[in-house]
């Protein structure tokens, strides 16, 4: 049964803001961070004790950096130590954003402004929870913020999912972006001409676009060179992007859809009219535009490649090739229908299985049905409750980790000094602008608790020293911490390598390579 804490997590799950708010968020972000250093002389918040505030942020992606920025802006005495298990920063911005979307990565410039502050320490190549325990970390900080994202992808749990040729979108995206964890993935894209992508979010469309984009168009991006080589040998000419619900429930955006529709020499089959809303006037503006694009289809009538969106279909099994029992050859689907009384225009409309559907030939299949965060070892010692089903730290919706209260007056109570931001707080939803807003909400909770004296240090000397104290534990664990100045050396080497082939950078794809740049 669902626990009371889990129900609280579900009730408080953050919901994405409107597109207008997201766009405003980008504008506000640029203005706020550009003024970062000027705020040092303006009114700031601080604890009544006026002692330095020390916080550890676990994770160096957008959620971590935006939280750091906001806290440093509003608590003048704050010092932030940011821990990252890789030697390099930026998380999903570096390893999740599609290489042909360089404009989305511009936030890295803003993060560098934050990191240039003397009150910020980057501690890369240190795996908190594994190399350094949380119990060793916690005594030296007023607050710990978990902002480490998602490390696991959801599975379909259907027969044949073990076959060669089946990949998760997470590992495929990580592979072409140079993530060390997946550097050796080596997907086989030369076994056949058709691929199936299961799921209809932006990541699913990213996968389809990369599979269909002429490799020469990707050579000028920061895509890993081995990925470009593999894509140049790909035989895939057709991609089917399949979803279990209808067009109105698909979670891709207009921008992602339009990019696929505009790919040269790639055609798109228009959606059958009976699947589209019959009364578009009822729809919000964004949904109406999306449906219009789907109805129009592709303007490319002469093409060598094509892609389709198939709706109301759920995969039931993967099947091997008759000549190779280990290699994927086809995917079986069940046809779905909307449940009785459900409105097909409702974004949350549910479906149910109807009858067995088609078998779709496929030499490669990509599972894109969501990510999950996992708990770090030792969280329970801090009193943190983790909802494994949703992959989130149970929190109050504003970033404070909560647990069941021993008080008769309150059902739940905040865990002193423990916070979360980003995907580990609200699940893998939203874009970078909404991640910023979410991180600001967490940071504001931290500032409020500090101002109210709720994070007072119980130790005799009344001060916490952060990384200076933790460094000893890191040395005992044989860690090789990477500083921000050392990251800049790695950054410079990557840019120099990229310049030789006309790319913004050529990423180092192994931790060993990264450390050799520093120590070799």
DSSP 370-404: -EE--PPTTGGGGT--EETTTTEE-B-SSSEEEEE
Residues 362, 388 within the same domain: no
Residue numbering of the annotated binding site for NADP(+): 200-203, 244-245, 256, 430
Q: Could you give the CA distance from residue 309 to residue 240 in angstroms, rounded to a whole number?
A: 6
Q: Taking a C-beta distance cutoff of 8 angstroms, is the pair 264, 300 a contact?
A: yes
Low-confidence winner among 102-106, 131-135, 278-282 (lowest mean pLDDT):
278-282
From the number of C-beta atoms within 10 Å of its C-beta (0-12, 13-18, 19+), residue 379 rates as middle
pLDDT 10s digits, 60-97: 999 999 999 999 999 999 999 999 999 999 999 999 99
Residues 471, 491 within the same domain: no
Residues 462, 507 within the same domain: no
Residue 33 lies in a domain: no
Q: Of 334, 369, 404, which residue is a domain's last? A: 369
Question: Strands, E, within 67-191: which ranges?
Answer: 78-83, 120-123, 143-146, 152-153, 166-168
pLDDT for the residue 30: 39
Predicted confidence band at 11 (pLDDT cuts at 50, 70, 90)?
A: low
Q: Could you give the CA distance from residue 495 to residue 474 in angstroms, rounded to a whole number?
A: 30
pLDDT 10s digits, 371-393: 899 999 999 999 999 999 999 99
- Other CB atoms within 10 Å distance of the CB of residue 323: 7
In the chain, pLDDT over 70 holds for what percent of residues? 87
Q: Tell me the C-alpha to C-alpha distance, in Å, between residue 501 and each of 38, 224, 328, 443.
A: 39, 12, 35, 41
Looking at residue 267, which CATH number applies to its domain?
3.50.50.60
pLDDT for the residue 24: 36
Residue 219 lies in a domain: yes
Question: Strands, E, within 269-375: which ranges?
Answer: 305-310, 313-321, 324-338, 351-361, 364-367, 371-372
Residues 490, 471 within the same domain: no
Residue 42 lies in a domain: no
Ramachandran angles phi, psi of 89, nearest 5°: -95, 180
pLDDT over threshold 50, residue 29 = no
Residue bearing tokens 């939803």:
429
pLDDT for the residue 23: 32
pLDDT 10s digits, 271-311: 888 898 887 777 889 999 999 889 887 666 667 899 999 99
Residue 145 lies in a domain: yes
- Name residues whose C-beta falls within 8 Å of residue 347's C-beta, 6 or more positions apart in sequence: 248, 249
Residue numbering of the annotated binding site: 63, 84, 92, 128, 200-203, 244-245, 256, 423, 430-432
Residue 87 lies in a domain: yes
Among 410, 406, 380, CA closest to 393 = 380
Residues 234, 357 within the same domain: yes
pLDDT over threshold 70, residue 5 = no
Q: Which domain holds residue 490?
A: 483-520
Q: Could you give the CA distance from residue 304 to residue 189 in angstroms, rounded to a whole number?
A: 17
Q: Tell me the C-alpha to C-alpha distance, in Å, between residue 118 and each of 76, 88, 468.
A: 12, 19, 14
pLDDT for the residue 383: 94
Q: Which two tokens stand for residue 94?
A: 């570096």
Residues 177, 127 within the same domain: no
- Name residues whose C-beta falls within 8 Å of residue 492's C-beta, 6 or more positions apart in sequence: none
pLDDT 10s digits, 181-208: 999 999 999 999 999 999 999 999 999 9
Q: Of 369, 392, 420, which residue is a domain's last? A: 369
Q: Could you give the CA distance from residue 228 to residue 335 in angstroms, rounded to a whole number?
A: 36
Among 103, 95, 320, 89, CA closest to 227 = 95
Among 170, 200, 149, CA closest to 428 = 149
Residue numbering of the annotated binding site for FAD: 63, 84, 92, 128, 423, 430-432
Among 148, 203, 202, CA closest to 174 = 203
Residue 28 lies in a domain: no
Ramachandran angles phi, psi of 345, nearest 5°: -85, -10
Predicted confidence band at 9 (pLDDT cuts at 50, 70, 90)?
A: low
- Name residues whose C-beta falls within 8 Å of residue 404's C-beta, 6 or more positions apart in sequence: 4, 5, 411, 412, 413
Among 365, 435, 48, 426, CA closest to 195 = 365
- β-partners of residue 355 are 335
Give the residue with greater pLDDT, 65 vs 473. Answer: 65
**In degrees, to the nearest 5, what angle opens at C-alpha 309 toward C-alphas 288 and 158?**
125
Q: Of 330, 347, 369, which residue is a domain's last? A: 369
Query: What b/e sequence results for 334-356 when a residue is b if at least 16 CB atoms lie within 10 Å of its CB, and e otherwise?
Result: bebebeeebebbeeebebeeeee
Among 15, 65, 4, CA closest to 484 = 65
Residue 208 lies in a domain: yes
Low-confidence winner among 138-147, 290-299, 453-462 (lowest mean pLDDT):
453-462
Residue bearing tokens 């860690």:
479
Q: Which two tokens stand for residue 406?
A: 């021993």
pLDDT over threshold 90, residue 42 = no
Residues 204, 117 within the same domain: no
Q: Taking a C-beta distance cutoff of 8 angstroms, is the pair 364, 230 a contact?
A: no
Residues 230, 336 within the same domain: yes
- Over the chain, what is the mean pLDDT? 88
Among 375, 377, 388, 383, CA closest to 404 = 383
Residues 377, 283 within the same domain: no
pLDDT for the residue 126: 97
Residues 70, 91 within the same domain: yes
Residue 120 lies in a domain: yes
Residues 71, 194 within the same domain: no
Q: Could you give the CA distance from residue 210 to residue 217 in angstroms, rounded to a whole number?
A: 10
Looking at residue 376, which CATH number applies to its domain?
3.40.50.720
Residues 447, 395 within the same domain: yes
Q: Could you give the CA distance from residue 321 to residue 121 in angstroms, rounded to a whole number?
A: 53
Task: Give me the number of domains the chain comprises.
Answer: 3
Q: Which two tokens stand for residue 128?
A: 């908190």
């Amino acid at each position: 049964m669902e626990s009371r804490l889990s129900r609280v997590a579900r009730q408080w799950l953050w919901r994405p803001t409107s597109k207008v708010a997201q766009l405003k968020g980008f504008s506000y972000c640029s203005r706020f961070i550009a003024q970062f250093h000027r705020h040092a002389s303006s009114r700031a918040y601080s604890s009544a004790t006026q002692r330095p505030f020390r916080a550890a942020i676990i994770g160096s992606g957008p959620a971590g950096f935006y939280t750091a920025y906001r806290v440093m802006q509003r608590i003048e005495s704050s010092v932030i130590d940011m821990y990252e298990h890789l030697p390099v920063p930026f998380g999903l911005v570096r390893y999740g954003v599609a290489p042909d979307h360089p404009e989305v990565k511009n936030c890295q410039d803003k993060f560098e402004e934050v990191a240039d502050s003397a009150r910020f320490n980057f501690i890369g190549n240190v795996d908190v929870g594994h190399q350094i325990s949380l119990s060793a970390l916690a005594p030296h900080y007023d607050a710990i913020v978990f902002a480490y994202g998602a490390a696991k992808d959801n599975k379909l749990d259907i027969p044949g999912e073990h076959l060669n040729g089946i990949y998760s979108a997470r590992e495929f995206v990580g592979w072409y972006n140079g993530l060390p964890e997946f550097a050796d993935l080596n997907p086989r894209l030369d076994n056949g001409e058709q691929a199936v992508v299961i799921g209809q979010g932006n990541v699913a469309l990213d996968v389809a676009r990369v599979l269909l984009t002429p490799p020469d168009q990707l050579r000028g991006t920061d895509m890993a060179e081995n990925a470009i080589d593999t894509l140049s040998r790909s035989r895939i000419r057709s991609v089917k992007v399949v979803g279990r619900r209808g067009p109105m429930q698909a979670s891709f955006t207009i921008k992602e859809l339009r990019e696929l529709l505009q790919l040269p020499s790639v055609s798109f089959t228009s959606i059958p009219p009976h699947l589209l809303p019959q009364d578009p006037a009822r729809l919000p503006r964004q949904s109406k535009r999306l449906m219009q694009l789907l109805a129009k289809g592709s303007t490319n009538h002469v093409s060598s490649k094509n892609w389709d969106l198939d709706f109301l279909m759920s995969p039931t099994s993967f099947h091997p090739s008759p000549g190779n029992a280990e290699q994927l050859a086809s995917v079986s689907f069940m046809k779905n229908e909307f449940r009785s009384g459900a409105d097909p225009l409702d974004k949350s409309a549910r479906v149910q299985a109807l009858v067995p559907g088609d078998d779709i030939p496929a030499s490669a299949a990509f599972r894109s049905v969501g990510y999950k965060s996992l708990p770090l070892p030792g969280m329970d010692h801090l009193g943190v409750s983790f909802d494994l089903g949703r992959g989130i730290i149970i929190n109050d919706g504003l970033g404070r980790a909560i647990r069941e209260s021993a008080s008769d007056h309150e059902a739940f109570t905040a865990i002193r000094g423990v916070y979360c931001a980003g995907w580990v707080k609200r699940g893998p939803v939203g874009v970078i602008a909404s991640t910023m807003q979410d991180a600001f909400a967490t940071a504001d909770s931290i500032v409020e608790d500090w101002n109210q004296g709720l994070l007072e240090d119980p130790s005799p000397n009344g001060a916490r020293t952060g990384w200076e104290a933790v460094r000893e534990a890191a040395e005992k664990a044989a860690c090789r911490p990477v500083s921000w100045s050392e990251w800049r050396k790695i950054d410079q080497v990557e840019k120099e390598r990229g310049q030789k082939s006309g790319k913004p950078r050529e990423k180092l794809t192994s931790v060993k390579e990264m450390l050799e740049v520093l120590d070799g």
